[in-house]
Amino acid sequence: MSASADTVGLVTDHITHATNGNGAGPAHVRIAIVGAGFAGLGMAIRLKEAGIEDFVVLERAEDLGGTWQANTYPGCQCDVPSHLYSFSFEPNPGWTRTYSRQPEIWAYLRNVAKRRGLAPHLRFGHELTGATWDEQTRRWHVETSRGSLTAALVIDATGPLSHPSTPRIRGLDRFEGKLFHSAQWDHEHDLEGERVAVIGTGASSIQFVPRIQPKVGAMHVFQRTAPWILPHSDRPTTRIERQLYRAVPLIQRAVRAMVYCGREALVVGFAKRPSVAKPVERLARMHLRHQVRDRELRRKLEPDFRLGCKRVLISNEWYPALTKPNVELVTESIAAIEGREIVLADGSRREVDTIILGTGFHVTDPPTAWLVRGREGKTLAEAAGASPQAYLGTAMAGFPNLFRIIGPNTGLGHSSMIYMIESQLTYLMDAIRQMDEREIGSIEVRPETVEKFNAEIQGMMAGTVWASGCSSWYLDASGRNSTLWPDFTFRFRQRLRHFDADAYELRTRVAEPAGVA
C-alpha cells in the first residue's frame, strides 16, 4: 500500500527490517507496551519525549498502525475529520481529503513513527500470549509468541476494535465458498461477477458495499437493524488549504479546534437533552427519502431506535448502492448456512460464492482479557465478570502496574478517539513521573475507587440516548454500557490531567532480583 504523493508518507521498511530479526528482545524492560496502533505509538512517543528509552512495543502484526494497518477493505476511511483524527502533537498539513482514507492514515502513522525514531523499540510479530504479575519481584512476566520478558509496567494498547467478531450462525464454519471478515480483507480473492453475501450493516459495511457493488454479479446484504445514516461532507482538500496549513500552522490548529467544538456539541443531543437531536433525525430521514425512491426499500431502511443509540454513520453512497438492480437488502434473519446456501428464517435460500462479514469486533470481551493474570491469580476477564470496569478507563483493581489505553467507558460515538488516547497518555506519564520521584515500585487502584467511579459513570449513562433501549455493541454481556464515555470529552481530559496517587495503593520498590540484567 503506497502513500499518495501529497501525504507525508514515507515507507517503514527500515522499521520492519530493523526490528523483526531481534528475537525475544531484552530480558527485562521497564515498560512493555502491547499494540502499535495510535495508542501504543502515542505512548512510545511520550516516553521518548520524557527521555525514557527502556521500553518495547510488542505488536502481533508485521507492521505498525493497528486499525489502519489491519482494515484495508475497499473504501475504508475515518468518520471524524482528519484534522481532529490525528495526534495533536503531529499535525499533518498535507491531508488530501477532509476525511482521510485508510492508506493515508496508515502512511501518516508510519511516518510519525519514523520521524520520532520508534524503530528500535518496535517488536513486530510479537503477539502477547500471557502476562502474570509477580508480587515478589513486583514485575510482570510477559509471554509472547517470540519469547518472554519481564517488565515493571505493562501498557495494554491492544485496542477496542482489533479482534474481529464472527457471528454465531449454524453451519458458518462449514460454508463451502469463500469467507472473510472486513478487517481481514482477502485482496487475492477476485469478487468480479460473484454472488456475494454481506452480513451486517455497520460502519465498515456501509463503506465497502458501494465500492464492490459495481463489480459483483449479485449482492445480498443482510441487515439486522437499519442504522441512522447522515450525509457525508468528505471532499478533497485544496492545494491552497494545504499550503496555508504548512505556512501558518496556527490556522490548522484553529480548524482542529472548530471541528472539536462542533463534535462536542453533539454530546448535548446524545447525553444531555435528547430533544436537541430531533433536527438531526429529520436530516437523516430527508437523506433517506432523497436517495431511496422505492417505498418498500425505504421502509426497510427506516431506523426503529433513537438517533445516536447505536453508532451514527455517514455516507452518500450507501443508500444509492442498495438501490442498484444487482443488490438485495435482506431483513429476514439467517437461520443457518448449508453448503453454499444461506437459509433464512422464512425458509427461503440464497446461494452465494463469497460471504463477507461486516460484523464488527469483540469490544467488551477481547480475547486478551483471558491472557493477563493479576495479583490474585485471576485473569482480567475473570475479575471483570460479564462487565469490564476500570478507573478512568485506565486502571483495574487487582492488576498493579497495568494500564489500559481505551479501556472500559472511554469510547465515543461522536468524536475522535485520539483525543481520549492523548488524555490517557498525559495521566500515565504523570503516574510514571510520580513513581520515579517517590521511588514507588507498584501502584494499584483501590477497589472502592473503581466502584465509586463506575457507579458515577452508570449514573450519568442513565439519561442518555445510549440507554434508550436499542441493542448495540456498546452493551456488554450484562447489558451495561461499558464502552462509552457518557459526557463531554473535555471533562474526561480534566480528570486525567494529573495522576491522583491517593486513589491508588502504593508499594515501595523491591531490590533487583539477582541475575536479571
Ligand X SMILES: Cc1cc2nc3c(=O)[nH]c(=O)nc-3n(C[C@H](O)[C@H](O)[C@H](O)COP(=O)(O)OP(=O)(O)OC[C@H]3O[C@@H](n4cnc5c(N)ncnc54)[C@H](O)[C@@H]3O)c2cc1C
Nearer Cβ to ligand X (58/277): 58
Q: Least Å distance between CB 403 and ligand X?
A: 12
CA dihedral 386→387→388→393, nearest 10 degrees, is: 170
Beta-carbon-side half-sphere exposure of residue 15 (alpha carbons within 13 Å): 26
Q: Report if residue 80 touches ligand X, rule: CB under 6 A.
A: yes
The backbone region for 65, taken as left when phi is positive above 0, alpha when psi lies in -120 to 50, beta otherwise, is left
Q: Report if residue 58 touches ligand X, rule: CB under 6 A.
A: yes
Note the residue count of the chain: 517
The span of 15-23, 77-85, 450-458, 504-512 binding ligand X (CB under 6 A) equals: 77-85
Size of the site for ligand X (CB under 6 A): 32
Which residue from 8, 16, 28, 35 is in contact with ligand X, where contact means CB under 6 A? 35
Q: Least Å distance between CB 244 and ligand X?
A: 24
Beta strands in 82-211 (DSSP E): 122-124, 128-134, 139-144, 147-156, 178-181, 195-199
Q: Report if residue 40 touches ligand X, rule: CB under 6 A.
A: yes
Q: Least Å distance between CB 317 and ligand X?
A: 16
CA 292 to chain CA mean position, Å: 31
Cα–Cα distance measured from residue 190 to residue 169, given in angstroms and rounded to the nearest whole number = 25
Which residue from 66, 227, 407, 486 is in contact with ligand X, where contact means CB under 6 A? 66
Query: Which residues are paired to 507 by β-bridges?
Result: 442
Query: Which residues are paired to 155 by β-bridges?
Result: 33, 403
Which residues from 158-197 bind ligand X, rule CB under 6 A? 158-159, 161-162
Q: Three cell numbers at 43?
A: 505512548
Amino acid at 336: A
Q: Report if residue 403 touches ligand X, rule: CB under 6 A.
A: no
Helix axes 38-49, 102-115, angle to 10 degrees: 20
The span of 65-73, 323-331, 379-387, 427-435 binding ligand X (CB under 6 A) equals: 65-73
Which residue from 416, 442, 449, 454 is in contact with ligand X, where contact means CB under 6 A? 416
Q: Report if residue 71 touches ligand X, rule: CB under 6 A.
A: yes
Q: Report if residue 379 touches ligand X, rule: CB under 6 A.
A: no
Contact pattern for ligand X over residues 198 through 237, marking x by CB under 6 A: ------x---------------------------------
Q: Report if residue 393 touches ligand X, rule: CB under 6 A.
A: no
370 with 163: CB under 8 angstroms? no
The span of 63-71, 87-95, 337-345, 433-441 binding ligand X (CB under 6 A) equals: 63-71
Q: Least Å distance between CB 311 and ligand X?
A: 10
Cα–Cα distance measured from residue 161 to residue 203, given in angstroms and rounded to the nearest whole number = 12
Query: Which residues are paired to 32 by β-bridges?
Result: 56, 154
Q: Report if residue 368 touches ligand X, rule: CB under 6 A.
A: yes
Tell me the residue nearest to ligand X as measured from the CB: 66
Q: Report if residue 16 touches ligand X, rule: CB under 6 A.
A: no
- Pairing mode, strands 354-357 and 178-181: parallel
Which residue from 33, 47, 76, 445 is in contact with ligand X, where contact means CB under 6 A? 76
Q: What residues contact residue 417 under an 8 Å CB cut-off, 6+ apart? A: 38, 85, 406, 411
Q: Report if residue 400 touches ligand X, rule: CB under 6 A.
A: no
Which residues from 102-141 bind ligand X, rule CB under 6 A? 127-128
Nearer Cβ to ligand X (419/504): 419
Query: Which residues are paired to 173 by β-bridges?
Result: none
Which residue from 417, 428, 431, 457 is in contact with ligand X, where contact means CB under 6 A? 417
Q: What residues contact residue 188 under an 8 Å CB cut-off, 6+ apart? A: none
Interface residues toward ligand X, by CB under 6 A: 34-40, 58-61, 66-67, 71, 76, 78-80, 85, 127-128, 157-159, 161-162, 204, 368, 405-406, 416-417
